[in-house]
């Protein structure tokens, strides 16, 4: 091969690798991507309804959120980590008994990007089993930690019949004060919107979720005053 041809081949290879990397990044991070498995980030929007979702529970911080939702007669979807369910099975059961929908948030809340298909399978499958064993309910929904998806997830979703769920707006409630969380959510949610908040902080023990609760107490009344209903994800996705 001539030097010119060698250089051309190198440029072509770099271009292919760059395109492949860009595709992988899009597939992993884009909320609308279907590359690594079927996923939704909002409902059809034909009704004035939204879905509240909470990630990283169950924890001690789940309980005041449950009490508030019960007082307001608001339904939500809780994406639970298997490790946290093992720590607090009674709280996981309370979430289920209150009529909220349960989702799979992996076992240990590990990032799935660049992990092997075997690792991804184990994380999702172990969480599915723990949630089912402790609550009697088998999740139909999956939210990967941080919203990061990767090769191997599609097969796990197919085998366990899980729909991936991203979000329309995320509250950043693990790092922002309640007023900013509420303003951010309310400015970006509309009919069919999926709101992502957190009743835990990964698999941290005894997390501080007070900002989430205070933000929730601002978000719910405003949305109700504007005629919104609150639905679990499975209901929100119905036409």
Catalytic residues: 55, 198
CB 186 within 8 A of CB 223: yes
How big is the CA angle at 137 (ends 131 and 138), to the nearest 5 degrees?
Answer: 75
Question: Among 137, 145, 101, which Cα is nearest to 119's?
Answer: 145
Tokens standing for 19?
A: 């395109």
Strands 39-40 and 76-80, sheet pairing: unpaired
Contacts of 121-130 with C-beta under 8 Å, sequence gap 24+, read 121/152, 121/155, 121/156, 124/153, 124/156, 124/157, 124/160, 124/162, 125/156, 125/160, 126/82, 127/80, 127/81, 127/82, 127/85, 128/82, 128/104, 128/160, 128/162, 129/82, 130/82, 130/85, 130/86
């Amino acid at each position: 091969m001539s030097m010119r041809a060698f250089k051309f081949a190198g440029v072509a290879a770099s271009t292919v690798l760059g395109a492949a990397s860009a595709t992988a990044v899009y597939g992993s991070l884009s909320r609308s991507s279907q590359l690594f498995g079927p996923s939704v980030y909002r409902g059809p929007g034909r009704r004035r309804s939204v879905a509240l979702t909470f990630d990283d529970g169950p924890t001690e911080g789940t309980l005041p959120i449950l009490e508030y939702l019960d007082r307001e007669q608001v339904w939500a979807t809780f994406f639970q980590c298997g490790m946290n369910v093992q720590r607090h099975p009674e709280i996981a059961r309370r979430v289920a008994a209150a009529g909220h929908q349960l989702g799979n948030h992996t076992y240990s809340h590990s990032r799935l990007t660049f992990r092997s298909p075997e690792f991804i399978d184990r994380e999702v499958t172990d969480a599915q089993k723990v949630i089912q064993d402790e609550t009697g309910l088998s999740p139909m929904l999956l939210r990967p930690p941080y919203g990061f998806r990767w090769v191997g997830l599609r097969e796990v979703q197919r085998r366990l019949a899980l729909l991936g769920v991203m979000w329309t707006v995320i509250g950043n409630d693990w790092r922002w004060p309640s007023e900013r969380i509420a303003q951010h959510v309310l400015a970006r949610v509309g009919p069919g919107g999926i709101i992502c908040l957190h009743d835990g902080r990964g698999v941290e023990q005894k997390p501080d979720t007070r900002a989430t609760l205070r933000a929730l107490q601002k978000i719910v009344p405003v949305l109700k005053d504007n005629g919104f209903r609150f639905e679990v994800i499975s209901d929100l996705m119905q036409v």
